[in-house]
Every structure is written in C-alpha cells, then in structure tokens.
Amino acid sequence: MTDKLWGGRFDEDITPDVLDYTLTTDVDVRLVFADLWQDIAHVLMLGHREIIPAENARAILGALLRLSERHERGELRLRPELEDVHFNIEQMVIEDLGREVGGHMHTARSRNDQVSTDARMYLRRVQLDAVAANLALIDVLLSFPEEDLLAILPGYTHSQAAQPVSVGFWKTAHASMLLRDVRRLRDVFDRTDESALGACALAGTSFPLDRELSARLLGFRGVLSHALDATSARDYLIESAAAFAIGGNNLSRMAEEIVLWSGHEYSLVEVSDAYATGSSIMPQKKNPVVAELTRGRAGRTAGTLVQLLTMAKGVTLGYSCDLQDDKPYLWNAIDTYLSTLRIVAGQTRGLRFNSERGEDLCWDNFSTATELANYLVSDHGLPFREAHHVTGSLVGALLKRGATLRDTAAGAEILAGLGHPVEEQILARLFAPRAAVTSYTSPGGTSPQSVEAVRAELRQAVQGHGEW
Ligand code: ARG
C-alpha cells in the first residue's frame, strides 16, 4: 500500500518522473478558488441531504473556509507530489481534521466531475473578462471625433486601392466585427455555465444527491444532467478556444492594417511612440511591435484550438487522461487573448491617421473612377456596363499618359474623344475623394450620416451587452 489518497490497491508508488509527467498542480493553480467553492457547495449539499453527518459537514466547512482565507492571503501552495488541486485540497482538509472527519468530503463525487466543474467556473470568469475587454476596445473605436467622418483613407480590395472611405468608417468596421466576438463569447458562456458536479466518476451514484442545489450555490444557470456526458464533454472548452481564436484573428487583421499602413510607402497611420520600439542599429527606425505581436500571437490562439480538437477527438466517452492536456494550452490562449485585447485598446487610442496622405493616394490611385461610371448612368442614361467600359478606357488612356484623375483637362479631352463629353468642373467634383465619401449614403455606407447611424446602432448594442 502507498500513502497516496488512492494508494490502497498499490504495492509500489509512482516514480518521480511519472509524477512529473502526470501532475497538473502547476496549471491547477488557477483553479484553486473554484475547487474551494466547489468543495463548499458539495459539502453543504451533502449535509443538507444528510449524506454525511451534520457535525462533520460543519467541521469540513470550517476547514474549507480557513483554506479560503489562506488562499486569499496568497499562502496556499499546491504540493506537486499530490498530483492535482483536488487531491491537494482534500489532503489539506484531512491534515486539518483527520481522516475520520475530513475523509467524508469526497463522498459521492469524483475528480472527473470536479475538474470539469472547476474549469467551467474559471472559464465563465475568463469569458466575462473577454467580453469586458472587447467592450472597452469597441468603446475606444467608437469614440472618434467628428473630423474622422471625413478624414479620408483609401479602401482596398485585393490590396489594390478600391474606393475612398473615412477613418470613422474604418473604426466602426472593426467595432462591428468585435461586437460579434462579444456575442460569440456570450453564446459560449451559456453552454459553459452548466454544472457537472454530482455526475461523479461517469455513472452517477446511489447517494441521494441534490445536484440542483450545488449548481445553484455555485451560480450555475443549471445542471448538465447526463452524468456520462457531463464528465466527458470538452466541447464547451473547445468552443471557448474557438471564440478566442476567432477574436485573435480579428485583432490580427486590424494589426496587419496598422503594420502595413504605418510603413513609409503607405504613411497612412502612425502608432504612438509608447506602442513602438527602435532598432539597435538603425537610428531612424520606429517599429510597430505591438501590432506585429498581435498579428503573430493569433498563431497561439489558433494553435490552441487545433490542439484541443486533436486532443479530444479520439477520447471515448468517460474520462481519460488525454483530457487533462486541455488546460495548459488553453491557459496560454486565454492569457494571449486577454492581454492582446487590452493592449490593442491602448494602441488604438493613440493611433494618428494621416488623412491628407489618404486623400492623395485616392487621387493617385483612381479610387473615384466608379463615380464617373455612376454619373454616366444617372446623367447620360448609359447602361452601367457601358459606363464602366467608357470609364475604364479613360483610366487606361490616363495611365498611358502618366496622368491621374487630377488631370481633369486631359480627362475631359479623352472622354470627348470617346464620344462621351463631360465638363472639366464636373470631373473635378466627381473625382474628389471627399465628395465620393459624402455621397455613399446607403445604409452601412461610408458617408458621414451612414457612419453616424451605424455608430449609434453599435453603441446601442454595446449598451445591451454592458447591462447583461
Ligand atoms: N488533474 C486531472 C485533470 O486535470 C483531474 C481529473 C483526473 N481524473 C482521473 N481519473 N485521473 O484532468
């Protein structure tokens, strides 16, 4: 017999390297609060149902409260030789009260229902933190001054200049995307928020448990009834990882724009000095490292999702130790996602857009050519396809001359030659990026009034989530 809590049937103890290979005390540090609360709820339920004697329940609760106080003071240390948080806390209770009394705590439960309950409690917290961090970032994105409504940026498709947009339009686009991350996190929260406690090892128990009671004491929305499913399920954890991975990807796309646009060739945006670092050799450098890391670290969150899917896919129902490999990677994804959300909020607050440069690029890159095609449709009655062709011919001819849409004299002359004369002043008006932006008044478009409408819509949605 070994002196392990499970040692009755063993002649020999595990070797130190086996312990080292199998323990989870290092990752379980984050679960101590949940495990203690869970023990308290379980023992209250056991006492209430008279499954264990009331005086034992009372003594165990006293020991658990003492442990909670120690934990709050930062004095509770998990011993690796006790494998995991569950054995550690049970051992501490037994050391405090003796086996006669403390040994009652583990009645009618298993580490299999415990670990899932702990992870669900911790994840709920993380999901709410991620919702709050997203809402804070969305707030930064939506708090732009009125000038941003007509501060011009080239909008791109295929990484080629497409049509002019405004800085406000860009900011609301990212806010709109992040709001979906918030919704996704809330959806995942709903499925995480179910108690596995009382499922026991896999098949339930003959003790008359009140699973509803312990679930309610732990603030769960309800019980995940089926004992085998409750102890086996890891999809709540995988979909959390999916929410973090998608969120990380969305932040990465914004980061990519910032990295690209802060290069000299674009010169569209600059991060504040606090979010950049210099070079050890090249004195002129200002590297947007926070945005680069945001982009790179989406690899961690995506990798975690793949790791979890792969880890779980071959595990038959009922706990297998494969499943304990869920936590270390997920913890890493959580830390990455939360720290990224927070730093991106700070970086976003200090972004400086160069809208003159944006306007120049729109002129130089024919970003408003579509406006002429639209004009030929509405003013000259041309079918859009024909108008597209005429405008395309104009662009081709200007490019051959090394000219741009700024050269309205050349433009007017070429159009006359094509049999579709348009006055120079009209071209100047049509091709002005600000005029184009102002004219895109369709719902969800880039005009100031459309952006204001979307901003109001987003603010209202944020309000709803904030009150949740
Ligand atoms: N430490 C384990 C984990 O992290 C807890 C459950 C262990 N259960 C078992 N039967 N080995 O998943």
Q: Are 329 and 370 members of one domain?
A: no
pLDDT at 9: 82
In a domain, 213, yes or no: no
pLDDT at 468: 58
One-letter amino acid for residue 224 of the chain: L
Residues 37, 38, 39, 41, CA torsion sign: positive
Q: Are 430 and 290 members of one domain?
A: no
pLDDT above 70 for 1: no
CA–CA separation, 86 vs 39, rounded Å? 9
pLDDT at 195: 98
Express each pLDDT in 280-333 by its tens digit: 898 898 999 999 999 999 999 999 999 999 999 999 999 999 999 999 999 999
Q: Are 235 and 316 members of one domain?
A: yes
Q: Are 426 and 367 members of one domain?
A: yes
Q: Is the CB of 282 under 6 A from ligand 1?
A: no
Residue 196 CA, ligand 1 centroid: distance in Å: 14
Q: Are 241 and 145 members of one domain?
A: yes
Residue 111 CA, ligand 1 centroid: distance in Å: 6
Question: Which residue has the CA at smallest separation from atom 11 of ligand 1?
Answer: 321
> Residue 406: which CATH number?
1.10.40
In a domain, 43, yes or no: yes
Question: Which residue has the CA at smallest separation from atom 3 of ligand 1?
Answer: 324
Residue 321 CA, ligand 1 centroid: distance in Å: 6
CA–CA separation, 158 vs 135, rounded Å? 30
Average pLDDT rounded to a whole number, residues 68-74:
98
pLDDT above 70 for 264: yes
- Helix, strand, coil content of the chain in percent (nearest 5): 70, 5, 30
Taking the CA atoms of residue 140, residue 143, residue 146 and residue 152 in that order, the dihedral angle to the nearest 10 degrees is 20
Atom of ligand 1 nearest to the CA of 27: 4
Chain-centre distance for alpha carbon 179: 10
Query: Which helix (H) or strand (E) element contains residue 311?
Result: helix 289-312
pTM to 2 decimal places: 0.94
> Residue 345: which CATH number?
1.20.200.10
Q: Is the CB of 355 under 6 A from ligand 1?
A: no
Q: Is the CB of 324 under 6 A from ligand 1?
A: yes
> Residue 66: which CATH number?
1.10.275.10
Ligand 1, pocket-test mutation among 84, 121, 317, most atoms within 8 A of CB: 84
Residue 404: exposure state from Cβ atoms within 10 A (0-12, 13-18, ≥19): middle
Residue 89 CA, ligand 1 centroid: distance in Å: 14
Q: Are 74 and 60 members of one domain?
A: yes
Residue 116 CA, ligand 1 centroid: distance in Å: 9
Interface confidence, given as ipTM, is 0.96
Return the residue matching tokens 């639209």. Answer: 374
pLDDT at 104: 97
Q: Are 158 and 254 members of one domain?
A: yes
Annotate 114-146 with DSSP letters as a single string.
HHHHHHHHHHHHHHHHHHHHHHHHHHHHH---G
Question: Which residue has the CA at smallest separation from atom 2 of ligand 1?
Answer: 324
pLDDT at 10: 82
Domain stop point among 354, 382, 408: 354
pLDDT above 80 for 244: yes
Q: Are 334 and 375 members of one domain?
A: no
Whether 166 and 149 have beta carbons less than 8 Å apart is answered as: yes
pLDDT at 464: 83
Any alpha helices (H) in 143-217, and if so which ranges? 167-192, 211-217
Express each pLDDT in 37-57 by its tens digit: 999 999 999 999 999 999 999
Q: Is the CB of 24 under 6 A from ligand 1?
A: yes
pLDDT at 14: 86
pLDDT at 6: 77
Domain stop point among 107, 135, 157: 107
Average pLDDT rounded to a whole number, residues 16-40:
95
Question: Which residue has the CA at smallest separation from atom 12 of ligand 1?
Answer: 324
Q: Are 330 and 413 members of one domain?
A: no
Domain stop point among 354, 388, 412: 354
Give the residues across from 163 on adjacent strands: 155
| Closest alpha carbon to 164 in 393, 371, 468 | 371
Average pLDDT rounded to a whole number, residues 423-441:
97
CA–CA separation, 244 vs 234, rounded Å? 15
Ligand 1, pocket-test mutation among 117, 319, 330, 331, most atoms within 8 A of CB: 319
CA–CA separation, 312 vs 63, rounded Å? 36
pLDDT above 80 for 466: no
pLDDT above 90 for 7: no
pLDDT at 110: 98
In a domain, 468, yes or no: no
CA–CA separation, 406 vs 295, rounded Å? 37
In a domain, 210, yes or no: no
What's the total number of domains in the chain? 3
CA–CA separation, 123 vs 244, rounded Å? 12
pLDDT above 90 for 2: no
Express each pLDDT in 123-138 by its tens digit: 999 999 999 999 999 9
In a domain, 454, yes or no: no
Residue 19 CA, ligand 1 centroid: distance in Å: 13
Confidence class for position 203, pLDDT limits 50, 70, 90: very high
> Which two structure tokens, joined as six digits, stand for 451?
């952006």
In a domain, 212, yes or no: no
> Would you name the residues annotated as active-site residues?
158, 279
Average pLDDT rounded to a whole number, residues 464-468:
70
To the nearest whole number, what is the mean pLDDT of the chain? 96
Q: Is the CB of 114 under 6 A from ligand 1?
A: no
3-class DSSP assignment, residue 160: strand
Question: Which residue has the CA at smallest separation from atom 4 of ligand 1?
Answer: 324
Q: Are 177 and 101 members of one domain?
A: no
Confidence class for position 3, pLDDT limits 50, 70, 90: confident
Q: Are 431 and 292 members of one domain?
A: no
pLDDT at 257: 98
Q: Is the CB of 115 under 6 A from ligand 1?
A: yes
Residue 112 CA, ligand 1 centroid: distance in Å: 6
CA–CA separation, 9 vs 418, rounded Å? 95
Express each pLDDT in 325-384 by its tens digit: 999 999 999 999 999 999 999 999 999 999 999 999 999 999 999 999 999 999 999 999
Phi, psi (deg, nearest 5) at residue 77: -115, 135
Express each pLDDT in 383-421 by its tens digit: 999 999 999 999 999 999 999 999 999 999 999 999 999
Q: Are 247 and 344 members of one domain?
A: yes
pLDDT at 437: 98
> Domain containing 443: what range?
360-449
Looking at the chain, the whole-number percentage of residues with pLDDT higher than 70 is 99
Express each pLDDT in 268-288 by its tens digit: 999 999 999 998 898 898 999
Ligand 1, pocket-test mutation among 6, 324, 329, most atoms within 8 A of CB: 324
pLDDT at 467: 65
